[in-house]
Structure 1
Amino acid sequence: MDSIGAQVYAKVLQNSVQAIEEVNRLHSSGYSRENIYVISHDQAREGRIVDVADANEVGLKEEGLFGAIANMFRSRGDALRSKITSLGFSGAEANFYEKELDLGKVLVIAKKPSF
């Protein structure tokens, strides 16, 4: 999935610099901070990208209370797949993206705001 016109947009990027550039491109396309998410296997890296690029992390609002609590007891890979599905992707898509994250890549997701 790689189209700005889609309801949910996702792009796998090779590194933090590319992820920040992608978030900036999404901002200039009209997406707000609240609708842009950064996901990485490395939580510290994810946090740095979110801070620098003015993006969002998947949290309680997206996952729901039970999902967020369950993720505290899941492996990082299982938690990442749960976060990705909470943004509207299928289990198969979440598996694909999580395997890319295993390779050290960064996932940027943008959602159209729901009215």
Structure 2
Amino acid sequence: MKNVRVVENGVQAKEVIEQFLNRGYKRDEVYLLAHDKNRSKDLTEALETNDVGVSEQGVFDLMANIFRSRGDELRSKIHSLGLSDTEAQQYERELDQGRVLVIATKAG
């Protein structure tokens, strides 16, 4: 089960994260992505969301991201959370516009 929300800023991201938590998601099931790596890292830390890492992407994709453009890296991360290639492309365009992506995902 996946829920995806596109927001404009950290305040809206915090509100969406709280909504997801109130709907039964755990904090480690909530991911936050922004186009700018520093913004993504800062918001992830400040809002205590999960980072898309080895367990989501696998070692190969994680290492490949070192050599990918930021757009390719973001699409790979979005796809690794269970969204389709088409959805990943759509959401990456939103990130290009400076928006923030909040994804809540449960296995099964």
TM-score range, shorter chain: over 0.9
Q: Unmatched 5+ residue regions in structure 1?
A: 1-6
The Cα of 1:37 is off from its aligned counterpart by 0.3
Aligned residues: percent identity? Answer: 46
In the alignment, which residue of structure 2 is the partner of 1:94? Answer: 88
How many residue pairs align between the two structures? 108
Query: Which is bigger in relative contact order (C-alpha 8 A, separation at least 6)?
Result: 2
Whether 1:38 and 2:32 are equivalent positions in the alignment is yes
Cα distance in structure 1, aligned partners of 2:107 and 2:42: 24
Contact map agreement 1:9 1:111 (CA 8 A) in 2: yes
Please give the root-mean-square deviation of Cα atoms over the aligned residues, in Å: 1.0
Q: Unmatched 5+ residue regions in structure 2?
A: none
The runs of at least 4 aligned residues of structure 1 exceeding 2 Å deviation read none
Structure having the higher helix fraction is 2
The Cα of 1:52 is off from its aligned counterpart by 2.1
SS at match of 2:67: coil
Query: What is the one-letter code of the residue matched to 2:9?
Result: N
- Deviation string 1:13-52 (CA, Å, 9 cap, x unpaired) is 1111101111122112221111000011111111222122
TM-score, normalised to structure 1, is 0.89
SS at match of 1:72: helix
- Deviation string 1:81-112 (CA, Å, 9 cap, x unpaired) is 00000011111100000000000000000012
